[in-house]
Amino acid sequence: MPHPAKPLRRDAQRNRDQLVQAARQLFAVHGLGVALDEIARAAGVSIGTLYNHFPNRADLVDAVFVDRAETVVRFAEHALSIPDPWAGFVHFLERVCELQAADRGYNDLVSRRLPQATPTEGHLRGYELMKQIVERARQGGALRADFTLEDMAFVTWGTARTVEATAGVRPEVWRRHLAMMLDGMRASAAHPLPEPPMRPEELARVMGAACD
């Protein structure tokens, strides 16, 4: 059995908390590309202290956004509690896109997979719930039958770029973009698609390449 992690000394815990808070604020404004030494300066600690707590960027990102994975799980659980499958599907996508619009760091995160990043329990739970949301909407006849979970990536990628391009001019215009995408996902609007959906391993390769 693994031994529980040894509690940090009070000063070490304070340094870690300051690093996470500084990273959260800088990521939200500037995205995930913020230099680690800039985060250390904002937290009032040395870059060595940052690396002592977070050996790589992915560890720091995980610490900053762990609550986002839990939030997405709550969104998904609520979506599945909505009696109408299509309304639940739309509710979930709207809530996730609102998170993207509110936080540039999270907006970056949903469109890439960082090296060294490992799925957490929250990520795995969210993935399973999203599969249920998609399957329920398909079975209900509202979502086009050829829509797959991997196709959800097009929604987050498209919204990510729209948010990035329009935030300084029309910060809410992503809602129009999303509404048009949703119309194209309806079963009643479906036409044969020219390409098959991406396989899970293909999606993983694409998201890995996005952070190179």
The answer to whether the beta carbons of residues 126 and 73 sit under 8 Å apart is yes
Distance separating alpha carbons of residues 66 and 20, to the nearest angstrom: 11
- DSSP letters, 120-141, are -HHHHHHHHHHHHHHHHHHHTT
- The pLDDT tens digits along the chain (212 residues) read 444 555 667 888 999 999 999 999 999 999 899 999 999 999 999 999 999 999 999 899 989 988 888 899 999 999 999 999 999 999 999 999 999 998 989 888 887 655 445 567 778 898 899 999 999 999 999 999 999 998 988 888 888 889 888 988 999 999 999 999 999 999 998 889 889 888 888 887 876 654 44
The predicted pLDDT at position 7 comes to 66
Burial annotation 134-145 (CB, 10 A radius, 16+ → b, else e): bebbbeeebbbe
The answer to whether the beta carbons of residues 137 and 86 sit under 8 Å apart is yes
Tokens at 137, concatenated: 């909407």
The answer to whether the beta carbons of residues 65 and 109 sit under 8 Å apart is yes
| Cβ atoms within 10 Å, residue 74 | 12
- The torsion region of residue 8 among left (phi > 0), alpha (psi -120 to 50) and beta comes to beta
As a whole number of Å, the CA-based R_g of the chain is: 19
- The torsion region of residue 35 among left (phi > 0), alpha (psi -120 to 50) and beta comes to beta
SS3 content of the chain, % helix, strand, coil (to 5): 70, 0, 30
What residues have CB less than 8 Å from 205, skipping those under 6 apart? none
Tokens at 151, concatenated: 């196709």
**Amino acid of residue 141:** G
186 SS3 class: strand
Distance separating alpha carbons of residues 71 and 95, to the nearest angstrom: 10
The answer to whether the beta carbons of residues 143 and 189 sit under 8 Å apart is no
